[in-house]
Amino acid sequence: MGERRSREDRIAADLESIATQLRDGDATLYGYEVELESDGRVQRGGITCADGWFAFELDERRKP
């Protein structure tokens, strides 16, 4: 039986693959939207890549 990778290792590998595809022009970033708020911003979007659709949200709001 093969070596089991942790969940974090698998996600990191997937993100590295998506980043490489973006850099190489083999993936496309779509419809990110930025919501400006008094305490920061939130970015939402998605990326089409060889593995399918990757949706994301980056919450850059400051925490109290």
In a domain, 19, yes or no: yes
Q: Which helix (H) or strand (E) holds 14?
A: helix 7-24
Instruction: Print the domain residue range for 43.
Output: 7-59
How many other C-beta atoms can be found within 10 angstroms of the C-beta atom of residue 3? 4
In a domain, 2, yes or no: no
In a domain, 47, yes or no: yes
Note the pLDDT tens digit of each residue in 20-38. 999 999 999 997 767 666 6
Q: What radius of gyration do the chain's Cα atoms show?
A: 15
Residues 6+ apart with CB under 8 A from 45: 29, 30, 31, 32, 33, 55, 56
pLDDT surpassing 70 at residue 62: no
For residue 1, name the pLDDT band (cuts at 50, 70, 90). Answer: very low
Prediction pTM value: 0.70
In a domain, 16, yes or no: yes
Number of independent structural domains in the chain: 1
Please give the angle made by the CA atoms of 48, 50 and 54, to the nearest 5 degrees: 40
